[in-house]
Structure 1
Amino acid sequence: MNVSSIVEKLNLKIACGREKLSQNVTGGYVGDLLSDVMANSREGYLWITRQTHQNIVAVASLKELAGIILVQGKEPESDTLEKAAAEGIPILITELPAFDIAGKLYDIVS
């Protein structure tokens, strides 16, 4: 399933990265500790987090993640959006808490 289909099914807001929504999603990872995400996420995952600073883009790019989902209506910082646009990393937003969106993502990806 690609990012675009997940955006539609989970009613996610696209903050940036529309040009990369065709990427395939292979799973998801929930975490706010960057070192944990670096150690345990995998290529093609969507990362669910409440972090909004630009370092999330560096981690997503390094791990070749399919995108980032910000929870609880969090908006990315302006420098985060700039970096994500430059790196081609989709940033998506949901009003749901991490637990809820992770369950919904699991249901449609697995």
Structure 2
Amino acid sequence: MKLSEIIEKINAEVVYLSEDCDILHGCTGDLLSMVMKNAKSDSIWITVQNHVNIIAVASMVGIKAIVLCEGLEYSPDTIEKAKEEGISLLKSNESSFVVSGKIYSLGII
């Protein structure tokens, strides 16, 4: 499914959109080592982590987009690094649980 479709269907706010790529998988987690172990390439990552290290993890794994939940904000350093690495940043006021459920209901596994 195209990232733009996911954004519309989960009502996410776009902080930075790198490209309207295909998203094949999803991952929810806040422990970076577990995301590195379990996430697949071409994923969307749902988290409450907002520091610059999430971009390094996403880049290593091949994650294409990150959804920051609970109404949290990305740091300016994180946004800048995401632009350098081409990783889209989204945010939602909803919990990680709710956002994950919405994405899962779209057929993203």
What TM-score results when the alignment is normalised by the length of structure 1? Answer: 0.94
Tell me, in whole angstroms, the C-alpha distance in 2 between the residues paired with 1:86 and 1:102. Answer: 26
Is 2:13 aligned against 1:13? yes
2:80 corresponds to which letter in structure 1?
Answer: E
SS at match of 1:29: strand
Tell me, in whole angstroms, the C-alpha distance in 1 between the residues paired with 2:42 and 2:18. Answer: 16
1:24 corresponds to which letter in structure 2?
Answer: D
2:18 corresponds to which letter in structure 1?
Answer: E
Q: Which of 45, 60, 63 is matched with 1:62 structurally?
A: 60
Match of 1:36 in 2: 34
Aligned positions, number: 108
Tell me, in whole angstroms, the C-alpha distance in 2 between the residues paired with 1:19 and 1:68. Answer: 11
Shift, 1:109, TM fit: 2.6
Moved over 6 A (4+): none
* Uncovered stretches (5+) of structure 1, i.e. residues with no partner: none
